[in-house]
Amino acid sequence: MIVITGYVVQYSFFGTIYSQVQGSGFVYNYNNDMVVITNKHVVDDAENITVTFSNGNGYAASIMGSDAYSDLAVLSVDAPLEEFQPLEITSSSSLQVGDPVIAIGSPFGLGGTMTSGIISQLGRTIQDSVAGNFPIANIIQTSAAINPGNSGGPLLNYQGEVVGITTAIIQDSNGLGFAVPSNTILREIDSLINTGTYDQHPWVGISGTDMTYEIAKTIGTNVTYGWLITQVTNGGAAAKAGLKGGNKQAQIIDEWVIIGGDIIIAVDGTRVINGDSFMSYLEEHTNPNQTITLTIIRNRQTQDVSVLLKQRPSIS
């Protein structure tokens, strides 16, 4: 169990203000080099980062690499080899809803705290300020208790293997925690350590809303699943492929929805239930410069459209 602390410096009219940040992490053996994996938001803009092991020994650490779009960071720690107790990372592909899991972290500074729960759902998307306006896709939802300070700690299966890294909670909720899946860590770790970043997130360049029975009834289709495109970004992959965004607003029960755009119902033959499933598929199975086939409904007709994915723009 590892506790990570650092200080964020802010300058104001009253002088320099230091705010302490705290989170969790775990050790990973990368080609015989011991590194610590955590969340980017734990160490973002932080100075004087330290890593404290379960025996109380603390050491200086530095950021080797980070990725805002998956909220991952890798740290190098100036500590003797005997301090490191690495964990095994296994594939998250075999996870199923209902699987038991364990979360370890330091909520509210209480180091070495262990909680248990189950995999509540897979393929969620969450919004986090660290990723700017882009969602973080393909996220695990778990009922294991996660509190402030847990961020960056491992989510383990009952074999003690890492299947995710706890990353977020919904404030004032009960049993709603989220974790980045281990497949994301395994996919990015080489690039994070060797280049300091990861730039292989695919980008379509669209915004949308989940289809519902009420929306389907309003626009005159019998398809109640999928993702309705509301806006297409100029210069994006979708614009180049000729995908259409919405062109008018309609009041559906108590909210206004932009309608008139294409409805994405499948990607490469895989059913798209909603925006979560679409974005999670892209994150797990595709890369920039890869061509995907989107099955869409346009003017009540089903058609396939080829889209050459682009690289997601960096956060400015």
Give the tens place of pLDDT for each residue, 218-252. 999 999 999 999 999 999 999 999 999 999 999 99
Mean pLDDT, rounded, of the chain? 91
What percentage of the chain carries pLDDT values higher than 70?
95
| Count of Cβ atoms closer than 10 Å to residue 223 Cβ | 15
Per annotation, catalytic residue among 66, 67, 70, 71:
71
Q: Residue range 199-214: average pLDDT?
A: 95
Q: Residue range 279-293: average pLDDT?
A: 96
Model confidence over 30-84: pLDDT tens digits? 999 999 999 999 999 888 999 999 999 999 999 999 999 999 999 999 999 999 9
Cα–Cα distance for residue pair 138/124, rounded to 1 Å: 5
> What token pair was written down for 302?
């089903």
> Residue 316: its pLDDT value, please?
59
Structural domain boundaries in the chain: 2-83, 100-195, 202-311
Per annotation, catalytic residue among 41, 67, 201, 280:
41
Q: Is the pTM of this model over 0.85?
A: yes
Over the Cα atoms of the chain, what is R_g?
A: 21
Q: Which residues 6+ apart lie within 8 Å of 193 measured at CB?
A: 30, 33, 35, 64, 65, 74
CATH number attached to the domain at 100-195: 2.40.10.10
Cα–Cα distance for residue pair 145/128, rounded to 1 Å: 19
Residue 71 annotated to the active site: yes
Q: Which residues 6+ apart lie within 8 Å of 124 measured at CB?
A: 138, 139, 140, 141, 178, 276, 280
Q: How far is residue 270 CA from its own chain's centroid?
A: 21
State the pairing for strand pair 154-156/100-105.
Answer: antiparallel
Nearest residue to 65 (alpha-carbon basis) of 75, 54, 52, 50: 75
Residue 94 annotated to the active site: no
Q: Residue range 176-200: average pLDDT?
A: 95
Per annotation, catalytic residue among 151, 182, 277, 280:
151
| Architecture of the domain delimited by 202-311 | Roll (2.30)
> Residue 227: its pLDDT value, please?
98
Same fold, 2-83 and 100-195: yes
CATH topology of domain 2-83: Thrombin, subunit H (2.40.10)
Model confidence over 74-116: pLDDT tens digits? 999 999 999 999 999 999 999 999 999 999 988 766 667 888 9
What does the chain come to in residues? 316
Residue 66 annotated to the active site: no
Confidence tier at 132 by pLDDT (50, 70, 90): low
Q: Give yes or no for residue 172 having a pLDDT over 60.
A: no
Cα–Cα distance for residue pair 212/218, rounded to 1 Å: 10
Confidence tier at 174 by pLDDT (50, 70, 90): low
Q: Residue range 264-284: average pLDDT?
A: 96
